Chain A
Amino acid sequence: MTLKDISINNLRRRKSKVFFLILGLTIGITTVVTLLSITRMMNEDISNKLDEFGAIILIIPRSDDLSLSYGGLNIGGVSVDAQALKDSDVPKIRQIEVRENISTVSPKLIGVVETDGKKTLLTGVLFQEEIRLKKWWKIHGDIPKGRDEILLGNEVAVKLFKSAGDHLTLNGKTARISGILDETGSQDDFLIFGDLTFVQEVLKKPGALSLIEVSAFCISCPIEEIVSQISRALPHAKVTAIKQTLQTKMEALGHFKKFSIGLSIIVLLIGGLIVFTNMMASVNERKREIGIFRAIGFRKSHIIRIIFLEAFVVGLIGGVTGYLVGLGVSYILGPILTGIKGGGVFIDPVLAVGVVCLSIMVGILSSIYPAIHASKMDPTTALRAL
Chain B
Amino acid sequence: MPSAPCGLGNNMSLIKIHNLSKAYESGKEKVLALVDLNLNIEQGEFISVTGPSGSGKSTLLTILGGLNHPTKGEVVVDEIPIYQLPMEKLADFRREYLGFIFQSFQLIPYLTVIENVMLPLAITEKSNREQLKMAEEILEKMRLKGKGKRLPDQLSGGEQERVAIARALVNSPPILLADEPTGNLDTKTGKEIMELFKSLNGEGQTIVMVTHNPENVAYSSRSIHLRDGKIVNGV
Contact = CB atoms under 8 A, between A and B. Distances in A.
Interface string B131-170: 1000000000000000000000000000000000001000
B51 interface: no
A293 B67 CA distance: 12
A184 interface: no
Contacts of B98: 297
B94 A380 contact: no
Give the interface centre of A293, A296, A300 by most chain B CB atoms within 10 Å.
Answer: A296
A299 B123 contact: yes
A287 to B, nearest CB: 12
A9 B110 CA distance: 6
Contact of A299 (B68, B88, B108): B88
B133 to A, nearest CB: 13
B73 interface: no
A297 B102 contact: no
Which of A3, A10, A299, A386 gathers the greatest number of chain B CB atoms within 10 Å?
A386
A1 interface: yes
A12 B88 CA distance: 29
Contacts of A294: 67, 91, 94
Interface residues of A, number: 27
B32 to A, nearest CB: 17
Contacts of B92: 297, 299
A301 B88 contact: yes
B14 interface: no
Contact of A295 (B94, B109, B118, B121): B94
Interface string B83-108: 00001100111111010101110101
B62 interface: yes
A385 interface: yes
Given A5-B115, A6-B111, A299 B91 contact: yes
B104 A296 contact: no
A158 interface: no
B102 A9 contact: no
A51 to B, nearest CB: 59
Nearest to B61: A386
Contacts of A386: 58, 61-62, 65, 67, 102-103, 179
Given A10-B110, A380-B68, A297 B104 contact: no
A300 B91 contact: yes
A379 B61 CA distance: 13
A12 B68 CA distance: 33
Contacts of B88: 299-301
A298 interface: yes
Nearest to B118: A1
Interface string A79-95: 00000000000000000
A296 B119 contact: yes
Nearest to A302: B123
Contacts of A340: none
B115 A1 contact: yes
B71 interface: no
B122 A2 contact: yes
B120 interface: yes
Interface string B18-61: 00000000000000000000000000000000000000001001
Interface string A1-27: 111011001101100000000000000
A292 interface: yes
B62 A380 contact: yes
Contacts of A13: 109-110
B122 A6 contact: yes
Nearest to A383: B102
B221 interface: no
B187 interface: no
A288 interface: yes
B213 interface: no
A379 B102 CA distance: 12
Nearest to A14: B110
17 contacts: A1-B128, A2-B122, A288-B106, A292-B100, A294-B67, A296-B120, A297-B91, A297-B120, A297-B123, A300-B91, A302-B123, A379-B67, A380-B62, A383-B62, A383-B67, A386-B67, A386-B103
Interface of A: 1-3, 5-6, 9-10, 12-13, 288-289, 292-302, 379-380, 383, 385-386
Interface of B: 58, 61-62, 65, 67-68, 87-88, 91-96, 98, 100, 102-104, 106, 108-111, 115, 118-123, 128, 131, 167, 179-180
Given A6-B119, A385-B179, 12 more contacts: A1-B122, A3-B122, A3-B123, A295-B102, A297-B93, A297-B95, A298-B95, A299-B91, A299-B123, A380-B67, A385-B102, A386-B62
For the complex of A and B, list the 5 residue pairs with the smallest distance between their C-beta atoms, beginning with the closest.
Answer: A297-B95, A13-B110, A385-B103, A297-B94, A1-B118
